[in-house]
Amino acid sequence: MWLGWMVRPVASLLLALSVCLVAVAQQPIGSGRHATGERPNIVVILADDMGFADTGFTGSTDIETPHLNALAASGVTFTSGYVTHPYCGPSRAGLLAGRYQHRFGFETNPAYDPSNPYMGIDVNETLFPERLRRAGYRTGMVGKWHLGAAAPFHPNKRGFDYFYGFLGGGHDYFRIDLRQPVKEGYTEALERNGLPAVFDGYLTTALSRDAADFVDRNAEKPFFLYVAYNAPHAPLQAPDELLQKYSHIEDTKRRRYAAMVDAMDAGIGMIMESLQRNDVRDNTLVFFLSDNGGPQASPNKPSSWNGSSNGEFRGGKGNLYDGGVHVPFVASWPNHFPHGAVCDRPVISLDIAATAVALATGSEELPRKLEGVNLVPIVKQPEAGPKSRYLYWRESGVRWSILDDKRNKHVLDRPNRSPELFHLATDVSEQNDRVKEEPEIAEQLRNAWLEWNEANVASRLNNYKGYHKLRDQFFLDSIPAKAKKEGYSPEPIPTFPK
């Protein structure tokens, strides 16, 4: 039974009660260019490889995030907010499709290859920005795509009227240099609506500036803006002035990471200021989340840590423990959502698509394929939401996890381990395996996961590392036999100075 909305201090964010608790406050009166009754603008801001505990509103004390803190204070913080995958590409595929990416075989990061018309998100999938565009929204994307670099997968062909950013999984933060090996495209040119583009200064700031410009150009009609930062994803690069600001942090990785988060927070401030400047903030629903948890060191990858903190959560990027999939998750809509609210009810990135489509179309009947739930009733009337719900994960076809609305979590994070059962409400660190004590709960959850998995398909993508090996071998095999016999070997590709 859901409790009513109540005030709860930020310090208790991680005390899991599996209920929504929100400040009882008079709803703001509609104002600005779009009044309360009109369709809202929708903005989704996505961080990349950000640790759960690296914002002020989730407990960070050494990284300054005033704009994110203000965003959380103006809306609802979902303390049990999840994404559909523990790393980049599949998580983004689930977010934009509004359905589990396992339904269409997108279960690994695609390689960056503009010449491969198969290495990307299924062209038969309707992404939710396209649904919003059909409903009359102007749609824009700024930042990291990572859903396929070839023409069929281009953002302008997948629901976005406007695109400025890059198509691969990351980018250098200071330079474009076409003399470098292409590999994953980290020094390739950016794009603006299919044409080559550049940036000045620091990439995070340039993306933020462009996102704010999109608001300035489109404030006259309902718009959807997807701001997909690559910060604080590697490479760990930051402006000198911000590195100096955090010089008191002794660990160099943590220092650079902190500076990168700070720059992203300042960029989010630019976007929020543009909403205010155009008098549309009150009727704009803004989401913020990360695509997965922060990377952590492991015995097999001791250098994989990027300086992030997932707080009390076990594991990180790549894990199906909460450190990999439990992320900061905020929704702010001043005209409709309470301010300074906290909700412990499990939600997932799929819910963003469902919420956006419901608001854009004005229909209570969501498209059949969407698998999320509309968060507006959950925020406004918790008792109106679904009383029973499972969240699911699958990775590489063999690792799996399931979470119920009571926050019982059944997980197989590694095939060489036995499945574990945790009660997250009392064990956020996933340390106390309860399979032996509660086998009936484990069996119920496992059966529910197996039923969900019946509708999934095998991943139709080779992972990017394996793909590059196959591609390299293809080019080597293309060398004529006579040349090989004569001892031909390719010249090493020079690496130019940064």
Question: Which residues are known to be catalytic?
Answer: 88, 146
Q: How far apart are CA 328 and CA 347, in angstroms?
A: 11
Burial of 361 (0-12, 13-18, 19+ CB in 10 A): middle
User: In three state form, how does the secondary structure of 355-388 look?
Assistant: HHHHHHHCCCCCCCCCCCCCHHHHHHCHHHCCCC
Cα separation values, 113 from 96, 185, 467, Å: 21, 9, 10
CA 204 to chain centre: 16
Asked if residues 296 and 310 have their Cβ atoms less than 8 Å apart, the reply is: yes
Edge-to-edge strands, sheet with 341-343: 20-21, 341-343, 76-78, 329-332, 284-290, 41-47, 223-228, 138-144, 162-166, 190-192, 195-197
CA nearest neighbour of 422 among 342, 84, 406: 406
Burial of 352 (0-12, 13-18, 19+ CB in 10 A): buried
User: Phi/psi at 376 (nearest 5 deg)?
Assistant: -60, -50
E strands in 31-114: 41-47, 76-78, 81-82
Q: How far apart are CA 241 and CA 250, in angstroms?
A: 16
The number of residues in the chain equals 498
> Tokens for 89?
């590409």
Q: In 10 A of CB 251, how many CB atoms?
A: 11
The helix/strand/coil state of 20 is strand
Residue bearing tokens 């809306």:
75
Q: In 10 A of CB 303, how many CB atoms?
A: 9
> Tokens for 390?
């499972």
Give 351's contacts (C-beta < 8 A, 6+ positions apart): 372, 373, 374, 375
